[in-house]
Amino acid sequence: MTNKIKEVFYRLLKYRINKKLYTEETDFELNDKSSMDDYVVYTNALCDQVIRTSNHYKNISDEYRQNCEIIKILDTIEKFDKKLKSKFEKLLVELSNSKKEREELQKRIKTPNPEVLKMEGIEEKIPSIINDIEKAEEKQRIAKSDMNYLEGEKEYLLYQKQRLEKATKAVGIINIIVATIFAISMLILVTIYTIYEKEIIMPGIILFGVALFSGLWIYIFRRFCRHELILNGKKQKRAVVLLNKAKLKYVRHTRFLEYVYKKHGVISSNSLRENWSLYTGYKMEIQKYKRVARHAGGIVDEFEKIVEKNDITGSNYIIDNLMLFKTKGQRNILYKEVTEKIKNAKITIQNIEKEQKEILGNLNEIRLKEDIDTTIIEKIIDSKFQNTK
């Protein structure tokens, strides 16, 4: 608001205090020195005040009518016979409980993540899919276990081969050593016999027996090592074949599981089972909510029948404010509050009508003023009220 308007309002306030704004004996006039601009500003202010009071009047009137409807509803309910009133209150209690139950269910119902919602439409297949994944995981685990076992077996066979090869080399060295000792011993015996002409039959027999036993032992052990090396080679080949088969099984099951995991957005059968549990729980809550809603719908239908039969308007207000209508005591409290509001609204409406009458009287005085250009005033009034249509 500009300083000019403020100045005019202060001037108007002063006129009202001094009772010079208008009187029954004199025509309306601002001041002998008032300019046309003053009248324009004053007219605009009066028009704005009319618009504000009209809006206020409309709001208060609407509130007054609504409160009157509430009183009418309360009066109608109190006219019910004892049986109907009891039934009506029981329906309200059931509606209230149903409303609370639905609100609690809405709080509990949490929309799962998108991966869980993917199960919609394939609910019947999920248990078999979980079973297939568990079987594949078990086969993968067995294949992995076989791979680990065969890898260990392969390493053990390789270690055993190395020991057999070392043993074979050791037997060869022992054979050479025994042969050398036997040859040296025979040479010594021959020398003793030649030089000293002593009997060497017994020592020769003993030496021959020892040599024969050692040779036989070396032959048997060497043959055993060679046999074990051949058998070790066969076992290694068999282990490699079985290991390759286990790897193929492991890769096949792993690829299948990777495909299923990616398709269902999980990392294991346990993860899918958890999602399935979340989905079934979500569906159960939804179904429960629907049952409660259907039950509430039946109660509302029965409630609407009573309302229509007894010509009660504003049933939505009753449903939205169940706590206010459930018992006679609550209805009495509401009746008192609404009655007080109606009383205050009547007073407010009377004050607004009085204020509007005064403002319109002021506007009419300006419009009838002869010493100013009333055409401008008319245009201002028409413009103001045209914009409010």
Chunk the chain into consecutive blocks of 10 residues (it has 389) and report each block's average pLDDT, rounded to whole numbers.
36 34 36 56 72 81 84 81 82 81 75 74 83 90 91 89 86 84 81 73 78 83 86 89 91 91 86 84 82 81 78 73 77 86 86 78 64 61 59
As for how many domains the chain has, the answer is 2
Could you tell me the pTM of the whole model?
A: 0.51
**125 within domain boundaries:** no
Among residues 199, 219, 239, the one where a domain terminates is 239
Instruction: Judge if 232 and 137 occupy the same domain.
Output: yes
| Helical H segments across the chain, by residue range | 3-17, 36-78, 82-108, 114-117, 126-196, 201-264, 269-309, 315-320, 328-367, 374-387
Among residues 222, 239, 256, the one where a domain terminates is 239
**297 within domain boundaries:** no
**266 within domain boundaries:** no
Residue 383 has a pLDDT of 63
**332 within domain boundaries:** no
**24 within domain boundaries:** yes
**267 within domain boundaries:** no
- DSSP state for residue 371 in the 8-state scheme: S
Q: What does the alpha-carbon distance between residue 316 and residue 70 come to, in Å, rounded to a whole number?
A: 11
**147 within domain boundaries:** yes
Residue 25 has a pLDDT of 31
Among residues 181, 205, 239, the one where a domain terminates is 239
Cβ partners under 8 Å of residue 41, min gap 6: 4, 5, 8
Instruction: Judge if 151 and 61 occupy the same domain.
Output: no
Instruction: Judge if 136 and 233 occupy the same domain.
Output: yes
Instruction: Judge if 160 and 232 occupy the same domain.
Output: yes
The two tokens of residue 219 are 């032959």
Instruction: Judge if 69 and 147 occupy the same domain.
Output: no
Residue 42 has a pLDDT of 66
**278 within domain boundaries:** no
The domain containing residue 191 runs over which residues? 132-239
